[in-house]
Amino acid sequence: MDYLRYAQFLPIAHRGEPIPAPDHTWWSWRGRRVHVARAVDAGAPVRVLAIHGAGGHAGLLWPLTAVARREGVEVMAIDLPLYGDTVEPRPRSVRYRDWVELLTEFVCAETEFDDRPLVLFGASMGGVLAYETAARSGAVAHVVATCLLDPADPAARRAAARWSLTGGVAPMLLRAVDPIFGRVRVPIRWLVDMGNMSLDPKLTRVCATDPKGGGVSVPLGLLADFFSFGHTAPENFDAAPVTLVHPAADRWTPPELSIRFLRRIPNHTRLVMLENCGHFPIEEPGATQLRDTFREVLDAVAKAAP
């Protein structure tokens, strides 16, 4: 888990203290050996679980969790099947709903015997995964997401896909080929617009070629499942407060798509635009705004805890 490859891209002001290396732990789930990076702190009042998207893994997000650890919070970052160090015995069979079910069961397992509040931090596609996990588990104190990409929205599909036309017809197209080609694996960068992962070309290149992240090959059935998956309707969502910290200069997933989804949630939402930040939010002043917002959320959650 080479988190230092990504830490070097943080703004200088955020590199003052060394980022502690994580402890590597493993969780068994339906025949899989799931990797969970942890910074354990038994005395911490709050815990955070970081969830990556289609081009990431726990190591990519680990530097972004530094603020939580510096605030005395226990941190976890999980590798979803096909990514990072998780051992997946049947890579051709992985579907989006596997990710949702894994995360839901993991959160339930983590909170069954530990009553400290748990905050989910979802980046990119991880944002809607965090949202759905909160809805299904009922065990989350707050959701912080950089993006809320709703696959039921044709504009969101066009933004997610590498070719906008493909995104527009994706559900019908992928549903048609899934029975025959669903198990065929192709590089994720062929399917999604990873060229706009960051405003920094060097960081984009690192993400796109990372053999544990953007360099991974996924089955076509996974994308077909994502585009057809029925997420919890935002009008019915009341599982936890949601804070959207969307990069304002995101060239991959335009902010208005996530904002439109957020505004459909009836209660307890907040929007923070990260100024000058691309999809991977490392630019200033947005990086500092993300840090400060995270601090505010963690402080509020800690104060509300019994």
Torsion angle, alpha carbons of 32, 228, 137, 103, to 10: 30
**What count of Cα atoms within 13 Å lies in the side-chain half-sphere of residue 123?**
29
CA distance 147 to 145: 5
Answer yes or no: is pLDDT of 167 > 60. Answer: no
β-bridge pairing 74-78 and 32-39: antiparallel
| Inter-CA distances, 216 with 20, 48, 82, 84, 112, Å | 26, 26, 7, 9, 33
Answer yes or no: is pLDDT of 163 > 60. Answer: no
pLDDT score, position 14:
86
Residue 252: give the domain boundaries: 4-304
Please choose, from the candidates 253, 259, 113, the residue with its C-alpha nearest in 3D space to the C-alpha of residue 194: 253
Task: Please state the φ and ψ torsions of residue 23, each to the nearest 5 degrees.
Answer: -85, 135
Token readout for 27 is 């969780």
Answer yes or no: is pLDDT of 164 > 50. Answer: no
| Inter-CA distances, 129 with 97, 101, 118, Å | 10, 10, 15
Average confidence (pLDDT) over 32-41: 97
pTM equals: 0.94
Which region among 26-35, 45-54, 224-233 has the lowest average model confidence (pLDDT)? 224-233
| Inter-CA distances, 90 with 94, 130, 183, Å | 7, 24, 10
Q: What percent of the chain has pLDDT over 70?
A: 93
Residue 26's domain is classified under what CATH number? 3.40.50.1820
CA distance 125 to 147: 7
Structural domains in the chain (count): 1
pLDDT digits (tens, 9 = 90+) for 262-288: 999 999 999 999 999 999 999 999 999
pLDDT digits (tens, 9 = 90+) for 218-231: 998 998 899 889 99
CA distance 195 to 94: 24
DSSP states along 109-122: HHHHS--S-EEEEE
Burial 149-182 (b: 16+ CB within 10 A, else e): bbbeeeebbbbbbeeeeebeebbeebeeebeeeb
pLDDT score, position 165:
42
Task: Report the mean per-residue pLDDT for the chain.
Answer: 92
Please choose, from the candidates 261, 245, 262, the residue with its C-alpha nearest in 3D space to the C-alpha of residue 153: 261
pLDDT digits (tens, 9 = 90+) for 74-122: 999 999 999 999 999 999 999 999 999 999 999 999 999 999 999 999 9
CA distance 159 to 12: 31
